Structure 1
Amino acid sequence: MTSARDLLTGTVSIPSLSGEEGPVAEYLSGWMAAHGFSAQVDEAGNAVGERGTGPLTVVLLGHIDTVPGDIPVRVEGERLYGRGSVDAKGSFCTFVAAVAALPESALRGARFVCIGATEEEAPSSRGARHAARQYAPDFVLIGEPSGWAGLTLGYKGRLVVQARVQKDNFHTAGEGTSAADDLTEAWFRVRSWGAAEEGRDHPGGGIFGAVQATIQGLSARTDGLAQVAEGTFGLRLPPRLSPEAVEEALSALLADLPVTLTFVGHEAAVRHGRDNALTRALRVAIREQGGTPVFKVKTGTSDMNVVARHWPVPTVAYGPGDSSLDHTPNEHLDLAEYDRAVAVLTSALTRLAATTGN
């Protein structure tokens, strides 16, 4: 596993904020080219490597950008610290290392395409949107931390509401509401709407079936003549609610308030099936390594949301690491878990390549 660990450490050591992935994409494409891949950096800045010539196409899509935050890259015992070690360079390096280790029999059974995508941590999801138009896979793996024995089948949807109130300034002793008052009322209504939706009957229940509403930003100012209040409200949506339907509902709900609304970040929720050739291969491989497979759904979003409507095929998110460490100052990956995830995926892809359908 030395080479696989070197790949991981080298990748994590190269800073790659969203929009600044060039150096790490070059590093990854170079590593893949040196390990039996046909590799390139594509038009979207993705690091792309292909192996195999078989009739099945398996796309392994992970992101190589990170959120801000300087965490000195270091190995302490069996832990690798560094921004992106968990979210989600560790997962993409698992993909690349596993495909590099595949036997010739697997390469005759399938074509494996590893895509290190750009700008997943940004609203653009540039890399995944580009990839979705380039390939027609039979199976898809999304690189996100699930734990080496975990298989993530779905992610909630998203809608971001940008609310703005502007009105003439007036003395605080006078009658009427301030811009901040109106913005606050808008938030209370959005929050109450989400709570009411949570109280409805929704299949699956739990947090995955509920609306989660949070304030992402608030500000208020005056220049002596006008008051301006602005807020950003983030909504996490269950599969039964499309972003478009929620936009329509909130526009009607706030129509009587002097608030201007802008809706961004539209992503529909997605949940894939748990019984197909891909999940079966992964379950067998996890058991081979002494684990018990666990199916999961996540309350965040990922590139799975972006590609689902383009690639209506068996899809699983997989990767080592504890997702509660995502974006934190203590982000680190257990290297023994990484090794085990590489072994699981190598075995699972070998098994998958021997299938003729799902």
Structure 2
Amino acid sequence: MTAETHTGAQREARELLIGAVSVPSLSGQEGEVAAYLCSWMEARGFAVRVDEAGNAVGARGNGPYTVALLGHMDTVPGDIPVQVDADGVLHGRGSVDAKGSLCTFVAAVAALPPEALNHVRFVVIGATEEEAPSSRGARHIVGALQPDAVLIGEPSGWQGLTLGYKGRLVAQVHAEKDNFHTAGEGSSAADDLTEAWFRVRGWAADSAGDGGIFDAVQATLQSIGSAGDGLTQRAEATFGLRLPPRLSPQDAERQVLELLVDLPSVSVRFVGHETAVRHPRDNALTRAMRVAIRAHGGTPVFKVKTGTSDMNVVAAHWPVPTLAYGPGDSGLDHTPDERLNLAEYDRAVAVLTDALTRLAASVSQRD
């Protein structure tokens, strides 16, 4: 590839990202950005479609070995004016979480040499509703595709390889009891709800052990409120639980209910079940990524994350080599300062193009 060609491809990749970030795409409202991505891919030789879940799907290459590159198009709310500042940093909602990663996938697959496409089919999926509890796009695509390797589009930094995410469980807690005068004896609905929170928080704190935060339960009080009609007191709260791999959402449910069994005024509804996942460090995919990162002057860093992603959704359906990759600092996810350095994006595209080329070569040698 000549320097001039490289400059042109890099410019196109940047324009792809800036264009995608410029299109608002809240969860459930991804149609316009899906059309934009499909148009860009189709112009560069991808076979494209928008599937029944609204996913933007683009494929290149032939052969029985399939690599799925699953990113998401939707963003959380928050209007951040889209601009590239004097330092070459792109500001805008979705620049990090996770259009930067998704566009890295699209640009890298577009840049693959012809020989990489002879034995491998690369399928890029821009998924819908990852930021919503539904994870609609990922839940649909697991039934439509059976890949041999999977990349999940989430920010890891260009040298980072994310192997796992914690699980999740959301407890919607309700306390209700007859009204009484506050000068009398007894606890209020709010008292009982607070006691429930203290018990759950204590249980989470006791789970830490020696394994670090990834192996502990994290509990967050996401909302709390109270109301009444003069006859009945009501208090409600939402407890968010991040779960380690050793604790399934179902086991967490049972343990939480046991904690609250002697609080008759308290009832719990559980939602948001996601099982934690952690993939192996050594396989053909991770080896190709490690070699490519080193070839571009970096030091590969394996990571696990305390949040969740579409990796949690697809892991049980796609038991194949899997990691998450993408440029940017995940600490900027959902914040008013969300931004992505375009030089890092360029490097992530180059690394991924190199890694996918190496992976395809290793597949061809086995055939």
TM-score class normalised by the smaller sequence: over 0.9
Secondary structure of 1:355's match? helix
Unaligned runs of 5+ in 2: 1-9
Deviation at 1:252, TM superposition (A): 1.7
Match of 1:187 in 2: 197
Match of 1:233 in 2: 239
- Give the percent of matched residue pairs that are identical in Structure 1 and Structure 2: 74
Count of aligned residue pairs for this structure pair: 353
Q: Please give the per-residue CA displacement for 1:247-289, whole angstroms capped at 9, x wherever unaligned.
A: 0111122112111100011101000011110000001110111
2:284 to 267, 277, 286: 277
Q: Please give the per-residue CA displacement for 1:59-78, whole angstroms capped at 9, x wherever unaligned.
A: 00001100000000000021
2:213 to 207, 213, 223: 207
- Report the residue type matching 1:2 in the other structure: R
Match of 2:7 in 1: none
Q: Does 1:348 align with 2:358?
A: no
Match of 2:251 in 1: 245
Secondary structure of 1:154's match? strand
Secondary structure of 1:321's match? coil
Secondary structure of 2:27's match? coil
Match of 2:344 in 1: 337
1:322 to 308, 326, 329: 329
CA distance in 1, matches of 2:350, 2:183: 70
Deviation at 1:215, TM superposition (A): 0.3
Secondary structure of 2:191's match? helix
2:134 to 124, 127, 149: 124
CA distance in 2, matches of 1:320, 1:198: 30
Greater shift after overlay, 319-328 or 348-357? 348-357
CA distance in 2, matches of 1:132, 1:244: 22
Secondary structure of 1:198's match? coil
2:24 to 10, 15, 36: 15
Map 1:127-166; keep pairs closer than 5 Å: 127-166=137-176
Q: What is the TM-score of this pair, normalised by structure 2?
A: 0.95
Greater shift after overlay, 148-157 or 217-226? 217-226
Q: Does 1:106 align with 2:122?
A: no
Unaligned runs of 5+ in 1: none
- Report the residue type matching 1:345 in the other structure: L
Match of 1:42 in 2: 51
- Report the residue type matching 2:66 in the other structure: T
Secondary structure of 1:105's match? helix
Deviation at 1:6, TM superposition (A): 0.5
Backbone CA RMSD of aligned residues:
0.9
Deviation at 1:55, TM superposition (A): 2.2
CA distance in 1, matches of 2:245, 2:121: 32
Secondary structure of 1:175's match? coil
Q: What is the TM-score of this pair, normalised by structure 1?
A: 0.97
Q: Does 1:171 align with 2:194?
A: no
CA distance in 2, matches of 1:67, 1:206: 29
Deviation at 1:355, TM superposition (A): 2.0
CA distance in 2, matches of 1:226, 1:12: 48
CA distance in 1, matches of 2:180, 2:76: 41
- Report the residue type matching 2:68 in the other structure: V
Report runs of 4+ in structure 1 exceeding 3 Å deviation: none
CA distance in 1, matches of 2:231, 2:49: 56
CA distance in 1, matches of 2:179, 2:48: 60
CA distance in 1, matches of 2:114, 2:268: 56
